Structures are given as structure tokens and as C-alpha cells.
A and B are shown apart, each in its own frame.
Chain A
Amino acid sequence: EIVMTQSPATLSVSPGERATLSCRASQSVSSHLAWYQQKPGQAPRLLIYGASTRATDIPARFSGSGSGTEFTLTISSLQSEDFAVYYCQQYYNWPPLTFGGGTKVEIK
């Protein structure tokens, strides 16, 4: 089973600033990496797949990068609606699908 590790667990950022979230895989997942956003009381929403492809209707301020074992989600200029928990998920070697533990982006 591929273990996904996200850091930091919590990120405090001021509105308008850049946020950089990290995700590491225990072995290479090539570019088979997705990012999801989850707001309180809501279901996860797909942001990025293929490590860097934005899903439909996702704003351009969200970008993904990386391959192999190291991945980054960048939010270029945080908006109020971006404060949420973000999860990475690998789909290179599955089942099982595996998720990272999440990074909570909170208002500084």
C-alpha cells in the first residue's frame, strides 16, 4: 500500500498571500495524483488530477506540480472561500486508493 504524507498539518495564511501545500508518496506514483478541497460540512471537491490538470471550473489560482514522490499544491492568492482542508490522493497503484492526512489552511 502506498502511504501518502501531507505537510504541514495546518497552514496559517493571510488573505491574498500564497499557500504552498506538500504531499509525499512512499513510492513513485508517477503523475497519478489528485488534490481535493473539503470545506466544513461539505463533501470533498476535485481540484487537480494528473498532478497538474485543473478540474472543470477550478480557478486558475490553484495549480499543482510534481511527479514521482513529491507533489505541491499552490494557491497563488488566497481568497476567503479557499480556507478549507486539502487532501492528496494517489491512483497509481490501487486498490487501495490512499489519501494523505490533509492540510488545513486557516486564516492568519
Chain B
Amino acid sequence: EVQLVESGGGLVQPGGSLRLSCAASGFTVSSHYMTWVRQAPGKGLEWVSIIYSAGTTYYADSVRGRFIISRDNSKNTLYLQMNSLRAEDTAVYYCARDPHNTGYYSPWGQGTLVTVSS
């Protein structure tokens, strides 16, 4: 069964850092485009970052220069390093797999909540 399990969320002060993990099973992370999408409380979906199977990465303007997406092939795990966190980064963060490397995503992980507050 293809599955994604996120972890690493929590409460962090403005300006702080957090690293999210997304452990994959049932497929190989490095063979697929993998993405992070976030959802602020009561709001819609916002794309955050993507890593292609070849390793190329892209970021939303709102996080570029502060967030870093990466993967550990030996652990079959995707990461999102979040630095210089702001209150507006508060959201549930989902990782998701692109099954055919074409731009749509399935499955998604269950999400991990990041709260940025003093």
C-alpha cells in the first residue's frame, strides 16, 4: 500500500526553525515528483514546494529563501526545512506524491500542524 506519514510539526516562535518529515512506504520517493502543500486554519490549499525525481527543486514565492525541500533516498523520506518562520506560516502541512510525474497528486499524507506563535 502506498502511504505517506508526516511528522515534525509543533509550536515554534516567530523566527524559529522546524523540520518536517514525510516517511513513504509502498513506493520509492526518488522516482516521483514530491510536493508540500499547506492549509492555513479554515483556508484553502497553497502549494509550497516540489522536488523532481531528478532533484530539481522549486518554491512558492512566499517561502523561497526560507524553506528547503530535500529527500533521503536511503530512508525513503521527504523533508521540509523551515527557517525564519512567520505567523503566516501557521498551517497544516501535507506531503503528496505525483504518481505519474505529471502534476497531480495522490496520495497525500495525513498532515502535520505547524503553529508559529510567541
Contacts and interface: CB of A to CB of B under 8 A. Distances in A.
A49 interface: yes
B27 interface: no
Range for the number of chain A residues in contact with chain B: 20 to 34
A44 B96 CA distance: 10
B108 A97 contact: no
A99 B47 contact: yes
A3 interface: no
Residue from the set A44, A55, A91, A98 with the largest chain B CB neighbour count within 10 Å:
A44
A34 B105 CA distance: 9
Nearest to A56: B106
Contacts of B46: 99
Interface of B: 35, 37, 44-47, 50, 58-61, 94, 96, 102-111
